[in-house]
Amino acid sequence: MATLQKVVLGTPPSAVDGDTVRVANTKANANVDVLNTQAALTSATGITAAQALTAAHIGKRINIALAAAGVINLPAASTCATDNVLLLRNIGTTVVTLAITVGSGDTIALSKLNPGEAALMDTDGVHAWTVLMRGRTNSDNEVVNGNCAVNGNETVGGTLAVTGAITATGGFSARPAFNGATPWDTNNLPAVVRTECYLFLSGSNLILGRKLGSALTVNGAHQVIPAAGLSLSPAGNAANSLYYIYAAMVSGSLALEYSTTGYTLDPATGLPTKTGDTSRTLVGIALSGPSAGTWLGDVVGQIGVLSYFNRRSKVAFAQNSNGTTSSLNTPYIGITFLNWADETINFRGNGTGTMNASGSYIAGWQIDGVNASAGHAVGLPTVGYAGVCAPEYMNFYPEGKHVATMYAGPNNGTLTATLTGYVITRG
């Protein structure tokens, strides 16, 4: 922008060293030209069609009312003086797109004027048009063409319509409703738990392996079970004892541990957790062997390990050949087993018996030393006749360790029997 010039008056009283009259008047005229360019804005002829603005529009208020959406090109910045301005007003009903002069290489800070908006554009006289001031829309409605960032709080009193995606990194202080429906979240959605594991004995150690997945919920978080499983040594356990096996995070890693402390169901997740410590999830129960520092496992006549999750049928059997007795309720077979309280235990037996006298014998089951049923009576019409027995029994029992005994005995004489017994449970 050109600057105003002062007239040199010279040294009084004669002032002969000052500007001549012509020079002084020339400066005055130049000052008038400068002031004309800085005078109050006047309105240029209104624009109703897309076009390129010229130098004649500099310093003017320009009312734009396009019949259809169109482009208004600003003059090349290099053809304008520094700090020249344009006041653009969209008084129409369509969007006005602002653009540079083609080939000018200029930049422009504002791309559009929505209906009712105004902008005072300022140039550096080189290659840029910037926004000196902006006027909001002339109604209560506004449109933001670019990004809108609010660093403080923002309140929406009406309906919020979003056509794109919503990113809420800070979360919601209240549960929103979408299309009239309330979404599920951690406060109203039942906790999702993962129990993709199975406990078994491999060699001398208990193993918690993957089953139907690879995760287990521990202390409210889903933990990944290693592909090789988790191993628990029997070191330190006592002989002939029942242990509860728990999974817990120990020093940042998922691990197994055994305890004589039982479990309760965590009301938050429904998972079985150690009584008094919900950070430990029950995964099974196991019996130690007859020697300390061993696990009993599942072998002939024993069920020594049960998995709490992903249970499957487990069978223990035992056999006694040619046992001879003359007493009722003589124990022939003993099977030690574990069971869960919510699982039915099935006891099955079969065998043959002969007597040295005609009559009958009875075979049946005892659980923990108590007769579980009346037994199966087998009549033997002649000496040496082989009578087949098949005593069966099914019931629920308290959770833990039990001993099932298959017994037999004659009502008279001597019985010689070969019996096989099975205990079937799940775990």
| Predicted local confidence at residue 161, as pLDDT | 81
| Predicted local confidence at residue 190, as pLDDT | 66
| Predicted local confidence at residue 38, as pLDDT | 66
Sign of CA dihedral 93, 94, 100, 101: negative
| Predicted local confidence at residue 163, as pLDDT | 84
Burial class (CB in 10 A: 0-12, 13-18, 19+), 269: middle
Can you read off the two tokens belonging to residue 298?
């599942």
Helix (H, G, I), strand (E, B) or coil at 184: coil
Reported as a pLDDT band with limits 50, 70 and 90, residue 242 is: very high
Which residues, 6+ apart, have CB-to-CB distance to 96 below 8 Å? 64, 66, 69, 70, 71, 72, 88, 90, 112, 113
Please give the residue that has the higher pLDDT: either 330 or 382: 330
- Secondary-structure breakdown of the chain: helix, strand, coil percentages, each rounded to the nearest 5: 5, 45, 50
Lowest mean pLDDT among 46-60, 138-152, 205-219, 334-348: 138-152
Reported as a pLDDT band with limits 50, 70 and 90, residue 4 is: confident
| Predicted local confidence at residue 88, as pLDDT | 94
| Predicted local confidence at residue 375, as pLDDT | 81
Mean pLDDT, residues 229-250 taken together = 97
Q: Which structural domains are found in the chain, ordered by start?
A: 1-39 (no CATH), 42-135 (2.60.120), 197-295 (no CATH), 313-426 (2.60.120.1340)
| Residue 101 CB neighbours (<10 A) | 17
Answer for the pair 100, 74: CB distance below 8 angstroms, yes or no: yes
| Predicted local confidence at residue 188, as pLDDT | 64
Answer for the pair 393, 304: CB distance below 8 angstroms, yes or no: no
